[in-house]
Amino acid sequence: MGQHHIALDFSGLDKIGRTRQAQEAAKDFCQGEHGPENENASHGRTDTAEGKQPPAYHNIAQAKAEREELARTYAAQQENMRRAGRLRGEITKDIKAGQDPYLILLKALDCVSRMTGDRVFYEQNEAQLRITYGALGYITPIEQDLQAARERLARLLEGQTPAADPDRRANLDEAIRSHRELIEQLEAQLH
């Protein structure tokens, strides 16, 4: 069995913003009554003897801005597809590892919304899941860890006394700092 190789040609990407209408308008503008042989065009005026308006794409800056916007849109779509691919891998890994199904579902919603370009889909369903699961009293493992870290931090803060020996004070300060960092990390994972 021979191997088949597929060659991809991306040379046409620089023409993303050019539609047939834009190409025809540019051609008409450059070759027609607005061309260099037209006295009005050579003086920077785009009005014509018949009172016709030039094509919508006669403005080079406008066309350039549209191409740049299309390039940004294309880049955002590509980033969404890359992120969706990573999420698919994470979802598979999380399922095999027996991770929390709620968090897996959130990743799946994020993946679908990125693949379709519909962030509203994720935002609406994520909010609804939080409402529904919250009403059922479901607490995710991250929320459980966050709650436990907050309780430990409260006990550590209660244990602080100005008269404590310096070594004990230093250990408590380090434990407090560590718990605050943990709480920040867990809160970031929830959002």
For 127, residues 6+ apart whose C-beta sits below 8 A from its C-beta are none
| Domain spans, the chain | 17-38+56-135, 141-190
pLDDT for residue 188 is more than 90: no
Q: What is the mean pLDDT of residues 156-178?
A: 83
Asked whether residue 36 carries a pLDDT value surpassing 50, the answer given is no
Nearest Cα residue to 79 out of 126, 120, 117, 121: 117
Q: Which residues of 134-155 are buried (b: 16+ CB within 10 A; e: fewer)?
A: eeeeeebebbebbeebeebbee
pLDDT in tens, 37-83: 444 444 455 544 555 555 555 688 888 889 999 999 999 889 989 99
91's CB contacts (< 8 A; 6+ apart) are 104, 107, 108, 111
Contacts 24+ apart (CB under 8 A), 10-17: 13/74, 16/67, 16/70, 16/71, 16/74, 17/63, 17/66, 17/67, 17/69, 17/70, 17/71
Helices 101-116 & 60-96, crossing angle to 10 degrees? Answer: 160
pTM score, two decimals? Answer: 0.44
Please report the pLDDT score of residue 41 as a whole number: 47
Q: Which SS3 state, helix, strand or coil, does residue 6 take?
A: coil
Convert the pLDDT of each residue in 85-135 to its tens digit: 999 999 999 898 888 888 899 899 999 999 998 999 999 998 888 888 877
Task: Give the chain's radius of gyration (CA, Å).
Answer: 30
